Amino acid sequence: MLKERRSFLRMVATGAGIAATGNLMRTGVHCSPSPAYSIQAKTKLLIAHRGASAYSPENTLEAFRLAIRQGADFIEHDLHITKDGVLVCLHDMTLERTTDVEEVFPDRSRTETVNGRTQQRWYVYDFTVAELKRLDAGFWFDPKFKGTRIPTWQEMIEDTRGKAGLYIETKNPDFYATRGFDMERMVLDQLKKNGLDRPGADSKTPLLIQTFIASSLKKMATELRTKLPLGLLIGESMRAQWLSTEGLIEASKFVTRIGPEKTLLDKTIIEQAQKLGLTIAPYTFRTSGIGTFKSVQEEMAHYLFNLGVDGAITDNPDQFPRRG
């Protein structure tokens, strides 16, 4: 099975397989989705959500490394931009949930009033990368991770390359544009510096770029003309727009994969998407919120083998069910 999976990942990286590109050619949209994400692929993909985030502090090298040890095919990670223009791995736009920023920089917060309630927020974009490196990003999760640091994206690439694929999520690219940062171009430029800017560049490090912001993906596909695989994340508020027949057709013009919140999916949507050449990797499978299932493993197995999705984004890579 391991040999089969490695063979599949080589196929992903090199662009082998059957591409569902006919509908794209008919639209005239400049988008060349990688054949890597063909619906013909038999192997189901294990995508570690923020690394092995059930067991290690999310979006840290420790979580990424553990996910690799647990067999992850891809490491999903989030990107934000520092004050001095460095891409870093972090999920939230603010630092207080996952670091000790309140202790290290008590006077650097912004005061906000939300729903009549005043709160202090420490935004990533208010700090340089050197300042972020002073923060403890592990103690909040478990004292044994004290001293864990926020990794730059370059550190993550160097640490993960050759061991797993990169499942890149750009956070708030539309907001960062208002602050003078072209996040899409920054991401593609950094991939180019690492020799990862085209499908098949590194057979051991396949990748996909995803976000909830459709306009950002369209920009990468049309204006920046990347041929790298792109994926559209879909939350509850986006259901009507993107999970209708018309929405799926539109999505297939500029992405090769969709990543809906798992509860939004049913067999009909999955079959419609796959007929359009879209593959599907829903989020997020974790030990909490499994509903009527006995375990997260059983829940993932239902989506993968009964409903037929192509991969699963999970906090628990060690619970991923493999068959075949």
List, for residues 287-296, the tens digit of each pLDDT value. 998 999 999 9
Known active-site residue 80: no
State the catalytic residue, choosing from 30, 77, 80, 91: 91
Average pLDDT for the chain: 90
In the predicted structure, residue 19 carries a pLDDT above the cut 80 = no
Residue 4 has pLDDT above 90, yes or no: no
Reference 33, options 255, 222, 235, 187; nearest CA is 255
What are 146-164's pLDDT values in tens digits? 999 999 999 999 999 999 9
Tokens of 191: 């991939």
What are the beta bridge partners of residue 258? Answer: 232, 280
What is the per-residue DSSP string for 79-100?
Answer: EEE-TTS-EEE-SSSBSTTTS-
Q: What is the pLDDT of residue 134?
A: 98
Beta bridge partners of 5: none
Dig out the tokens for 308 from the structure: 């037929």
315 with 52: CB under 8 angstroms? yes
Rg (CA), the chain: 19
Catalytic, 49? Answer yes
pLDDT tens sequence across 263-284? 999 999 999 999 999 999 999 9
Which residue of the set 30, 49, 77, 80 is catalytic? 49
pLDDT band at 323 (very low <50, low <70, confident <90, very high): confident
- The helix/strand/coil state of 154 is helix
Q: Given its phi and psi angles, is residue 320 left (phi above 0), alpha (psi -120 to 50 degrees) or beta?
A: beta
The whole-number average pLDDT for the span 302-317 is 98
**For residue 3, pLDDT beyond 90:** no
- Is residue 73 within 8 Å of residue 47, measured between CB atoms? yes
Mean pLDDT score, 142-146? 98
Mean pLDDT is lowest, of 16-25, 94-103, 127-136, for 16-25
Q: Is the pLDDT of residue 14 over 70?
A: no
User: How far is the C-alpha of 213 from the C-alpha of 163, rounded, in Å?
Assistant: 28
Q: For the segment 58-108, what is each residue's pLDDT rounded down to a tens digit?
A: 999 999 999 999 999 999 999 999 999 999 999 999 999 999 999 999 999
Is residue 127 predicted with pLDDT exceeding 60?
yes
User: For residue 166, is pLDDT > 90?
Assistant: yes
Looking at residue 42, what is its pLDDT? 53
* Confidence check: pLDDT of 10 > 70: no
In CATH terms, the fold of domain 2-92+149-319 is TIM Barrel (3.20.20)
The residues near 26 (Cβ < 8 Å, ≥ 6 apart) are none
The band of 25, judged by pLDDT with boundaries at 50, 70 and 90, is very low
The residues spanned by each domain of the chain are 2-92+149-319
Our measurement of the distance from residue 22's CA atom to the centroid of its chain's CA atoms, rounded to an integer in Å, reads 26
Pairwise CA distance, residues 137 & 95, whole Å: 9
